Structure 1
């Protein structure tokens, strides 16, 4: 698989093919719901619903599949978008789910595709913690699950911060401290 394709462009993949099964989009959504129901782990109240109507501040959304549960006494909501397309899922499809997640206040989004995902869709999904899953011939394969782990900033040996000092007008001055002794002294010790 080539990693040089620009965002939005499909990536050639010998293993990628149109699913061998011939089902309607509704049947595909129901298959996703059935697999989600079978994932009942050590959580409380695992409930999966197909075509749930969810009211949000900006309107009502009809979600392909939802899963609700409680863990550690907290309520969680997962939104599933089912894409039984002949072409790979585009970045814009993942962006739409991201907008729904924000509007509804859901905790996780999952895009399930029969034909795979364009590179831009996978990059956006990974950046925003959206799971991308291939469901072909009842095989559930994760392409992304969560955001990339970020590295902490490198230590440079100098401190960058700020100082708040009172001034003569009984107000406050703000100064940026860069770790440079001249800068720090000027900010903290009044001239004169």
Structure 2
């Protein structure tokens, strides 16, 4: 069980909560209450504050976060684990996260694009289906559209976390991360 650090965006409450949670010597520690509408700069500030207190030899779990950029920023600040509905919820609504940016599959621009969803993607759906076909499925309100998009997004998130790990091990995460943040936040 992971106790949860709370305290909204109040540094004094976060610090007090983190100190209390750290004293419990749990298997890992969770950081909660930062994915419910707070500005991202405050979220990052609170993560930094809390991770200065939580033990470094125990997993740190950021609850309910978030976008690919949030995940990379969290990793840079010492977070080890994440969970979020975003890859599947946004996928069900036609938003595809890729290595080169974000695609809204409902946009007309994909109507005649018969290239793969993502040519070098992390999932079998990326090359099995085209952008035009996925767009068609969304417009036809076929459930398969939501399934394909969710599978793609989950595979992308796993790929992103795996790449971050590789770059941490290689010692070049601080060089790779800004480039990746720019790529994944581009609107295609």
TM-score if structure 2 supplies the norm length?
0.31
Higher Cα radius of gyration = 1
> Which has the bigger relative contact order, CA under 8 A and spacing at least 6?
2
TM-score if structure 1 supplies the norm length?
0.31
Flag the structure with higher helix content: 2
Flag the structure with higher strand content: 1
